[in-house]
Chain A
Amino acid sequence: MTRIVLLVLVFGVAQAADEIALPSLSLALDGTTVELAAVPEPNLDRVEPSIVAGLAHERATVARLMQQATPDRQSLTRAYGRLGQSYQANSIYAPAEPAYRNAIALQADEPRWWYYLGYLYQQSARADHALPPYNETLRLQPDYAPARLRLGLALIELGRSAEAIAELKKIQELPGVRAEALGAIGRAELAQGNHRAAADALQTALAENPAASELHYPLAMALRGLGDVAGAREHLAARGEGQLPLDDPWIAAMTQRMTGARTHYFRALQYVNEEDFQKAAEGFQLGLLSDPNNRRARTSLARTLFLAGDRQAAHNQLLEVVRRWPEHPLAWFLLGLLADGDGDEQQALTYYKRSLEDEPDHAGANFFLAYQEMTADNCQMAAERFARVVRQTPENIVAVRSEILCRWQSGSSEAALLASIDHALIRHRDDPELSAWRIRLLATATDPRVRDPHTALKAGEKLYESTARPDVLEALAMAQAANGYYEKAAASQDVVVGQMMMFGAFDILPPAEARLERYRQGLPAESAWLPDDPVFRAPPVDVDGAFRHYPMDMAY
């Protein structure tokens, strides 16, 4: 039987060089008969050639072993296992299953094949199928903690939270999986409505892994369930994609078999979402090995290198991009940011301007150029440039505010300023800073068409009721003073000054103290801001934020 099948196999290979058939067969080995399933050759149209070649190599290895008169069981097992891994690593799941099944048929006591099979089912949204292979993995190797973790996760997916918690508690003290186990326990408890237990597990996991920002949301829901709305809001504000660490050497070994550039990029982007920039950079690097002319991927590599802490390597990659593709505004802009971050404003200026040569409306380059102009007291020009940024990205609240401040400082009329603030408040109606500025303006304007102390006071009281911030209280104090309530204004401003001292905001303290003194003397505020108010200073350039969040057309 074996010989006949092997003849068919050889004939198949000879017939079509591109296709390597791996049909089902009964194989006599070591005195037993092993039933092997066919591993169908999938249609790989449009799949990257490097992946196709890698898979063909693995299939050929299996086929070559099968052609031997007496195939070596171990070698054949490994070959089928590698074939399964290669398919799985490249997200081609259907043929991976029979490949693993064959590896198991040949060597049922190898836990890895069971484990990969379970993981394959879980990746294919078949959690119910994953349970038996995971259980078998754990029977063969009870101390492989990632298998118990994944068993627990599969049980959670199936709504069997209590069983999941029981499994996960067995490993919650083990290094390497502790964090993931605690996080999963927290989510399972939450699914059962056990808010106290969920909060406890999630808080422990988060305390030990502060970068795991993905835990903030379920923790917020648990706290909300416990009636702690303020705590819930705090964690909602901190929610993110940062993942819990998991040390799983078997899965790491399998994913080494990714061979396509785009496959690497795809995975790299997943790591970016998970905020694991080191692994993301490795992914882009691996992809670029076979796809070196992908300028988008190289720019993404630079960004992830920077975010992983390797500024110099990021700089080198960006220089490489602009050397090979000089018309690449994003790369020039990122170079400008790096220079800006180093304090080399002249170099940054050059790079930003180079970026604008190819894309005059580049929001990032215009934004940071405007910052430079603001710092250089060229507020008129900065305002125009910020306006350009706002036209491109109206959601950019920092640009919106900066434009208004620059117009303010460059002498725009109070009526024009009020119109600008009102216009901005249409989109950003919940922005307390803009609202506070409006109050300042209404309280201190000299233009009678703008000045409206009564409205300012009402608005100030309402805003402070919902948003008790020092800057809002300072605006309210201005409104109180403008209405002649100097004692109230002084009391309010006294609180503002106290809070500034408490938080060490000494740079903005002098103008606040000056206003306090005026109120004590029964005088209103001189103006909304003093000319040298720190609010008019451009904040430091947030290179990290821009490298992390600046939008890109395509990542590769």
Chain B
Amino acid sequence: MRLFLSFALILTSLAAVSAPPLFTEEAATRGLRFTQFNGMSGEFYFAENLGGGVALFDYDNDGDLDVYLTQGHMLGEGKTLQDALFPPPPDMPLSDRLFRNDLDAKSGAHFVDVTEQAGIEAHGYGMGVATGDYDNDGDVDLLVTNLVGVQLWRNNGKGRFEDLTLAAGLTTRSWPVSATFLDFDRDGLLDLYLANYVEFTTARNKPCYAPTSARDYCSPLVYPVGQDQLYHNIGNGRFIEVTDSAGINQASGPALGVVAADFNGDGWTDIYVANDAAANQLWINQKDGSFLDDAFLAGAAVNMDGKPEASMGVDAADFDADGDEDLFMTHLTGETNTIYVNNGEGWFEDRSLATGLAAPSKGYTSFGTAWFDYDNDGLLDLFAANGEVRTVPILAHAGDRYPLHQPNQLFHNLGNARFVETTAEAGDSLKPSEVSRGSAFGDIDNDGDTDIVVANNNGPVRLLINQTGNANHWIGLRLVDRHGRDAIGARVKFSRKGQADLWRRARTDGSYASANDSRILLGLGDSATAVTTEVHWPDGKVETWKDLGTDRYHALTEGEPPQ
């Protein structure tokens, strides 16, 4: 018996030692070569440490995810690359980049820079990106947010994009960071919400100081707040701003994150805005083209102590399988990341302490994030892309030249409303300490598990390929609405015999300055039992598809039998 126990222990320890990493970092080896240049020159320009963003989307409709990354350039009047504290790599163009995924069944994803070929010339100081088929022509368009204004890139479906910003009426000069496409009036056209940050120009940069008295980056509170903007898609490729008439002008804050979902369960899309150091807004859709913010009573404006938090990244999903959208938000060092649990009617409780998510996040400043099921066990886990916005004293005191970097974090959902940090299990891919910002989530190699692209500030992009998720069973859905575009905002109830129902939402928004895979990927654990799906389309219709096979993707089109 003793011998057997010893043998078992040895086996157990061997298994622990040889457990494969959850993710491997493969950006460079898979052709995703990109370094964000933030243009810093020692002036502590407020905007320089906030980019960049990333989008995962299938621009060429070949069934795999391509990548768009935003780029910065030199900041400050008269500054040249000679002034840059961290010059860009010599062969790195200082403009946004589009990488096509030439996915191969055997060797996996491989990326090729097709920016010029695709006609994209984005020369703004890039912050973030949103995706959506705004013209309902069946291909995904791009909305790039810049330090000044936006660029709308219409996809012509033949591999090329056209800048139709002005033609679409998107003439804003504000500073949006995150944005989301949503159909708030159920007219079948994607509208647009811009989460605007503050009114900043390099000429109006202000001197701010750390608690140690050393020069440092400012808080957003020293700049006038930007007013978020809502644009109504009126068809014919045009938007009109409805910020005032929709009531969005009734509240504002320095917005960094935004997510659109039905928070009160009435079937209409609401909007949640994550504001930096100010109360967040929960815009409840009044179904008449207007919105009402009652985030304070809803318990989602500030944390449980009544304090506004930094609120960079945000995502909404049903992590506790009770059929409503819960919120997760990332914040500053000294604050905790916050989880707001929905009671089903749009009232939230801050359960950060009870879920175990508070303590491990308090030492980090987090940006990009998402609810995603990295191990396909049917429970939504969390990722946090970390990096400070103000000097990390211990790094500065050690002489670090860009003392903002921190490692990223991974949290596993235990299924009992508790989470545990599993960063160490992720392998070497999560060890680097970098200044991470945007992050996008999707199945890049179509192997049935969720991969991550992390956009670093003043550093290289990271591609985290999921190595173990598809050890469990899964089912993937691409939802196409009656207009022929990805049904952003559709909600799906998954039912299996003997199992609790699970809800997922088709979305591209959330995270920080980034756009996610619009497909739904549901982990099924060790059960390969066929799945029944009840799709709640954005226009209010409900359809059911029975006995869908597992371990594969399905395309479900509104009003049509399954393909």
Q: Which A residues contact B (CB, under 8 angstroms)? A: 40, 42-48, 51, 90-95, 124-128, 156-159, 161, 187, 190-193, 214, 216-218, 220-221, 224-225, 229, 232-233, 236, 239, 260-263, 266, 426-430, 553-554
Give a binary string over B205-221; 1 marks a CB under 8 Å from any A CB, 0 the rest: 01101111111000000
Check B399 for interface membership: any CB of A closer than 8 A: yes
Tell me if B's interface is mostly helix, strand, loop or mixed: loop
A216 contacts B245, C-beta separation under 8 Å: no
Kindly report which residue of chain B lies nearest to residue A45, judged by CB atoms: B214
> Which B residues lie within 8 Å of A428 (CB)?
250
A266 contacts B209, C-beta separation under 8 Å: yes
Known contacts A161-B353, A263-B213, A426-B245; 9 additional CB pairs below 8 A are: A44-B212, A48-B213, A51-B213, A125-B333, A126-B363, A220-B296, A262-B213, A427-B250, A554-B222
Check B559 for interface membership: any CB of A closer than 8 A: no
A218 contacts B305, C-beta separation under 8 Å: yes
B359 contacts A157, C-beta separation under 8 Å: yes
Check B166 for interface membership: any CB of A closer than 8 A: no
Determine the distance from Cα of A124 to Cα of B353 in the docked complex, in whole angstroms. Answer: 18
Given A125-B362, A233-B297, A193:B244 Cβ within 8 A = no
> Which B residues lie within 8 Å of A262 (CB)?
209, 213
> Which B residues lie within 8 Å of A47 (CB)?
212-214
Determine the distance from Cα of A168 to Cα of B27 in the docked complex, in whole angstroms. Answer: 51
Kindly report which residue of chain A lies nearest to residue B252, judged by CB atoms: A395
Check B402 for interface membership: any CB of A closer than 8 A: no
A94 contacts B304, C-beta separation under 8 Å: no
A217 contacts B214, C-beta separation under 8 Å: no
B212 contacts A128, C-beta separation under 8 Å: no
Check B2 for interface membership: any CB of A closer than 8 A: no
Check B249 for interface membership: any CB of A closer than 8 A: yes
B213 contacts A95, C-beta separation under 8 Å: no
B297 contacts A159, C-beta separation under 8 Å: no
Determine the distance from Cα of A409 to Cα of B52 in the docked complex, in whole angstroms. Answer: 54
> Which A residues lie within 8 Å of B397 (CB)?
40, 42-44, 92, 94-95
Check B540 for interface membership: any CB of A closer than 8 A: no
Q: Which of B304, B333, B353, B394 contacts A159 (CB 8 A)?
A: B353
A77 to chain B, nearest CB (A): 24
> Which B residues lie within 8 Å of A95 (CB)?
397
A263 contacts B211, C-beta separation under 8 Å: yes
> Which B residues lie within 8 Å of A233 (CB)?
297
Number of interchain pairs (Cβ within 8 Å): 126
A465 to chain B, nearest CB (A): 16
A93 contacts B213, C-beta separation under 8 Å: no
Determine the distance from Cα of A45 to Cα of B399 in the docked complex, in whole angstroms. Answer: 9
A246 to chain B, nearest CB (A): 15
Kindly report which residue of chain B lies nearest to residue A287, judged by CB atoms: B213
A426 contacts B215, C-beta separation under 8 Å: no
Check B25 for interface membership: any CB of A closer than 8 A: no
B305 contacts A214, C-beta separation under 8 Å: yes
Check B237 for interface membership: any CB of A closer than 8 A: no
Determine the distance from Cα of A157 to Cα of B244 in the docked complex, in whole angstroms. Answer: 41
> Which B residues lie within 8 Å of A430 (CB)?
250
Kindly report which residue of chain A lies nearest to residue B355, judged by CB atoms: A159
B214 contacts A221, C-beta separation under 8 Å: no
Kindly report which residue of chain B lies nearest to residue A240, judged by CB atoms: B306
Kindly report which residue of chain B lies nearest to residue A216, judged by CB atoms: B306
> Which B residues lie within 8 Å of A156 (CB)?
353
Kindly report which residue of chain B lies nearest to residue A41, judged by CB atoms: B397
> Which A residues lie within 8 Å of B212 (CB)?
44, 47, 51, 90-92, 260, 263
**A-contacting residues, B142-176, CB 8 Å:** none
